[in-house]
């Protein structure tokens, strides 16, 4: 059964969503992310993808207090990403209650440090962030493109111990036009043992069902929930 992972994206401590990673196209959905997290938990969901968009831009963790509040007030299994680029950032995030941490930019720009984190914390706690634009890795809150093919990038890290990867097709994110099924299919072909978490573009329940049929490990859902395209009740059928 596919893991359902609702998303909360943070700017200035508020629950927001961007369109295609554009900070100029921001919608605020709730002033209090804890309320949103508690709604997810009340609906029976067990996981949460928490993204510090301020941190991604600033290249250091900013919204750790929101993480701490949600972790202390709920039992959600939280993976945290955005701005984790130093040992101090990583320590603060784990101490604040995250169970897993996603490293994207760090894996591109400081591969030796990311490799060190993998060796210290293990592949169960460190998730590879592999966000792509035209199948090439995008970093720093998607504000920077690279010439690195996403498939080669992920395969190389799987060989180094990565077990989980979150991959967003930037072109799909926030548009509610469906996920990048080809991207995930290609990643599966390259890395059959990798636990792939699909992110971006989910528009309705049929997208979730299709990803489940593909045996994708997990799916992150944000805007489709906030725009009432998918109800929390709908998602309960996927909860084991």
Closest alpha carbon to 167 in 144, 198, 194: 198
Q: Which of 9, 52, 79, 89 is catalytic?
A: 9
Catalytic annotation present for 207:
no
Judge contact between 40 and 232, C-beta under 8 A. Answer: yes
Q: Which of 52, 54, 79, 131 is catalytic?
A: 131
- Buried/exposed code over 136-145 (b: 16+ C-beta within 10 A; e: otherwise): ebbbbbbeee
* Residues in Cβ contact with 206 at an 8 Å cutoff, skipping those fewer than 6 apart: none
Strand 144-149, strand 136-139: pairing: antiparallel
**Largest Cα–Cα distance in the chain?**
43
**Phi/psi at 150 (5° precision):** -60, -35
CA–CA separation, 103 vs 105, rounded Å?
A: 6
Catalytic annotation present for 9:
yes
DSSP H helices in the chain: 33-42, 53-58, 64-73, 87-95, 105-109, 111-121, 150-159, 181-190, 205-213, 223-226, 232-235
Sign of torsion over alpha carbons 207, 220, 200, 227: positive
Q: Which residues are catalytic?
A: 9, 131
């Amino acid at each position: 059964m596919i893991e359902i992972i609702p998303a909360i994206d943070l700017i200035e401590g508020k629950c927001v969503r961007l369109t295609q990673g554009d900070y100029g196209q921001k919608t605020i959905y709730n002033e209090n992310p804890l309320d949103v997290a508690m709604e997810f938990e009340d609906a029976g969901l067990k996981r949460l993808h928490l993204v510090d968009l301020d941190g991604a831009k600033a290249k250091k963790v900013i919204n750790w207090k929101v993480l701490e509040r949600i972790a202390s007030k709920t039992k959600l299994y939280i993976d945290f990403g955005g701005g984790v680029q130093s040992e101090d950032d990583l320590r603060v995030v784990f101490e604040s209650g995250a169970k897993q941490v996603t490293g994207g930019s760090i894996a591109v720009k400081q591969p030796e440090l990311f490799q060190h984190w993998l060796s210290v914390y293990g592949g169960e706690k460190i998730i590879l962030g592999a966000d792509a634009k035209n199948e090439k890795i995008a970093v720093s809150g998607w504000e920077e493109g690279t010439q690195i093919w996403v498939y080669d990038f992920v395969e190389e890290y799987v060989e180094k111990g990565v077990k989980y990867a979150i991959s967003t097709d930037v072109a799909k994110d926030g548009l509610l036009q469906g996920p990048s099924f080809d991207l995930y299919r290609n990643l599966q072909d390259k890395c059959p043992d990798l636990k792939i978490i699909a992110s971006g573009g989910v528009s309705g329940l049929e997208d979730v069902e299709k990803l489940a049929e593909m045996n994708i490990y997990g799916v992150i859902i944000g805007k489709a929930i906030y725009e009432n395209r998918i109800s929390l009740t709908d998602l309960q059928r996927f909860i084991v």
